[in-house]
Amino acid sequence: MTQSALGFGLFAPAGFVIDPAVVDRAQQRLRALGHRVVIDPTCTTRWQRFAADDGERLAAVMRMATDATIDVAVAMRGGYGWSRLLEHLDFRSIAAARKRWMGHSDFTAFQLAALAHGGMITYAGPMGAYDFGAMQPSPFTLDHCMQMLEHGRDTVECALDGPDFAGEGTLWGGNLAMVAHLVGSPHLPQTRGGILFLEDIGEQPYRIERMLHQLHFAGLLARQRAVLLGTFDGYEPGANNNGYDLETVIRFARAHFGVPIFTGLPFGHCPDKLTLPVGGHCTLAVRGGAGRLELSVPAR
């Protein structure tokens, strides 16, 4: 696939980069794909559990927004940190810069706030450390990412477990803990008739169910056309679970939350992930376990 050269900005708006080698690998890999790369200073600094103090991480966001050589701002990693920044960000100015922003995990907080305050469409997708900087990155992840960045649309076939379904709406969501975290705040979009996607890592099944209950109690789930679940792994079964596992949670959610729920979305803290336009459009069709997603971003 022929691709236009893009300017990628790598920055660390949350946790610090644990292994400095991933910064070099990410830079080399993007350059090998024909793109330009800007490395923000936050990629190589540390302060407490963060890449830098709040003021410097805020400055990094604005450097991404104002640097004319950057087309796509990519978070190096998640962790924790965006919650400290949201109330200090000028989302109108960030939206006016017309950059593309990409990441996942803690990055979900920025994405949902950007949609709520600035009507911004961002990308839930690969990050600098885990994906572009991996020793052996996923060709699936890189190919789909570049397809979405280049063309702003794609059709994906994947196995989705759930009822037969056909519908469309605004695609939104991300990390379940971050979506639940923003409930009741001004930073959560009031999306109705949407396609909500969720993933998480390191959360016990009961905690996943509890967060889904929070979305249910807030009326959020009932306002959606469908819910797509990505990967939920990275936890050890607890001694008190007594057979209560993620499959049990999903059966309960399907029976009680009044919205079609599908599993199998290739997205989350996993090597093979889609790049999903948060705030973009999704047409979803599922029949007999075969899923088809048509993803698109309105013309800029």
For residue range 21-47, what is the model confidence (pLDDT) as tens digits? 999 999 999 999 999 999 999 999 999
> Considering all CA atoms of the chain, what is the largest pairwise distance in Å, rounded to the nearest integer?
56
Burial of 235 per CB tally in 10 Å (0-12, 13-18, 19+)? middle
| Alpha carbons 91 and 276: distance in angstroms, whole number | 21
Q: Report the C-alpha dihedral over residues 6, 124, 27, 17, rounded to 10 degrees.
A: 150
Lookup: tokens for 129: 């450390």
| Alpha carbons 268 and 247: distance in angstroms, whole number | 17
How many other C-beta atoms lie within 10 A of the C-beta of residue 66?
A: 12
For residue range 5-18, what is the model confidence (pLDDT) as tens digits? 999 999 999 999 99
Q: Of 35, 144, 187, 199, which one is the catalytic site residue?
A: 199
Lookup: tokens for 179: 């979506």
Q: Which domains does the chain have, with CATH numbers?
A: 7-151 (3.40.50.10740), 155-296 (3.50.30.60)
pLDDT at 196: 98
For residue range 232-241, what is the model confidence (pLDDT) as tens digits? 999 988 888 9
DSSP 47: B
pLDDT interval class at 3 (50, 70, 90):
low
Q: Of 181, 187, 269, 281, which one is the catalytic site residue?
A: 269
For residue range 168-215, what is the model confidence (pLDDT) as tens digits? 999 999 999 999 999 999 999 999 999 999 999 999 999 999 999 999
Q: Of 104, 105, 117, 209, which one is the catalytic site residue?
A: 105
For residue range 73-91, what is the model confidence (pLDDT) as tens digits? 999 999 999 999 999 999 9
User: Catalytic residue at 294?
Assistant: no
Lookup: tokens for 16: 């610090």
User: Catalytic residue at 269?
Assistant: yes
Contact (CB, 8 A) for 285 and 155: no
pLDDT at 239: 85
